[in-house]
Amino acid sequence: MAENNVVTFLPVLPNGELVGSAAGLLGAAGRLGSPVAVIVAAPGQGQAAAAAAGTFGAQRVYLAETPQTQSVLTAPALEAVAAAVGATGAEAVLVPNDVDGRDIAGRLAVRLPAAVAADAVGIARDAEGNVVHHSVYGSAYTTESAPTHGTLIVTLREGAVDERAQAAEPTVETLEVPEAGSAAAEITGFSENLQASTRPDLRSAATVVSGGRGLGSAEGFALAEQLADELGGGLGASRAAVDAGYAPNSYQVGQTGVTVSADLYIALGISGAVQHQAGMQSAKTIVAINKDPEAPIFDIADFGIVGDAFDVVPQLITRLKERAGGGS
């Protein structure tokens, strides 16, 4: 059987850990062929990340360690991915649909040249080749796309692929990152986000609790935090809550903001404007609590409660604890 190499780019956090999208990328790659990981890390951080890629199913890892990853935008990763594509003759390249992934995909697509499929929610292989699934207009439509020929580049929506590849013992090959082949921006500084929390990443969390304007204040928003932590879920917010200063920008769920792919989405005090729905309506189960019985969120909620979240949520938490403590 011919070996279909599928190159995935796995971003690395400042602390050297792989970003949460890695498991889904390698899972999707495993569906198409043999998963090959590309990791570009600061010196000394690569081996641990490469080993982690193995646990997510990478058969082979191309590893580049370079301080340039902290000083030059995109170019080191682009050169590493291009080198891995050249070395493996990859038929597909998967990158996460995040800012760095998009930059790599855009430049690589022009450079090869290759067809690029953006914001995919799934990939399959049929007799004709690779078929990419998209969810568009805020999940109102699903579309399928395919390349006419050549290598396919895909930006994969984070959290969209549930499939996981079997853990492997990868062969690790070291890449020397060549000088950037084109003009690149300089990274002049990095400030760590002090609000980094232990909560799961919003994009890929199985459970997401979001708070809206209806929570009334930044103090009120703590109710959403409390429930998210109780459920071990990610924490999100509507644009109205972000604009009102209840929550930071990075929490925003919606068309401008994060698209979640949760099994359970709980909306507290969110009316559910179309823009918000675009970011969450593909959640498998939607629960809404809102005082306004006419709120549009109820039109798409599997379980809607017309009521005050400040009454309902504490009772919900108490009952969940009872159930957990009941040993049943």
Partner 1 sequence: MKIAVLVKEVPDSYGERKLDTTTGLADRGASDRVIDEITARAVEAAVSYADSAQDAEVVLVTMGPESAESMLRKTLAMGADSACHISDEALTGADLGLSAEVLAAALRRIGFDLVIAGDVSSDGTGGLLPTMLAQRLGVAHLTSLDSAQISETEVSGERGTYGGTVSLRADLPAVVSVTERMPDPRFPGFKGIMSAKKKPLETLTAADLGVDAQADVPRSIMLSVTQAPARTAGTKVTDEGEAGTQLADYLAEKRLV
Residues 225-284 touching partner 1, rule: CB under 8 A, are 231, 249-250, 255-256, 263-264, 273-275, 278, 281
Contact between 189 and partner 1 by CB under 8 A: the answer reads: yes
Cis before residue 113, ω within 30 degrees of 0?
yes
Tokens, residue 234? 């990610």
Looking at residue 180, what DSSP letter applies?
Answer: P
* Stretch touching partner 1 by CB under 8 A, among 29-37, 40-48, 129-137, 167-175: 129-137
CA–CA separation, 273 vs 263, rounded Å? Answer: 21
Q: Which of residues 143-182 bind partner 1 (CB under 8 A)?
A: 143-151, 155, 182
Give me the least distance between CB of 243 and partner 1, in Å please: 11
CA–CA separation, 150 vs 153, rounded Å? Answer: 10
Give me the least distance between CB of 138 and partner 1, in Å please: 8
Q: Which of residues 36-75 bind partner 1 (CB under 8 A)?
A: 73-74
CA–CA separation, 193 vs 197, rounded Å? Answer: 9
- Is 276 annotated to bind a ligand? Reply is yes
Of 175, 26, 174, residue with least CA distance to 92: 26
Contact between 102 and partner 1 by CB under 8 A: the answer reads: yes
- Is 270 annotated to bind a ligand? Reply is yes
Complex with partner 1: residue 186 or 219, whichever CB lies closer = 186
Complex with partner 1: residue 60 or 200, whichever CB lies closer = 200
End-to-end CA distance of the chain: 49
Complex with partner 1: residue 160 or 168, whichever CB lies closer = 160
CA 227 from centroid of its chain's CA atoms: 22
Give me the least distance between CB of 178 and partner 1, in Å please: 16
Beta carbons of 16 and 49 less than 8 angstroms apart: yes
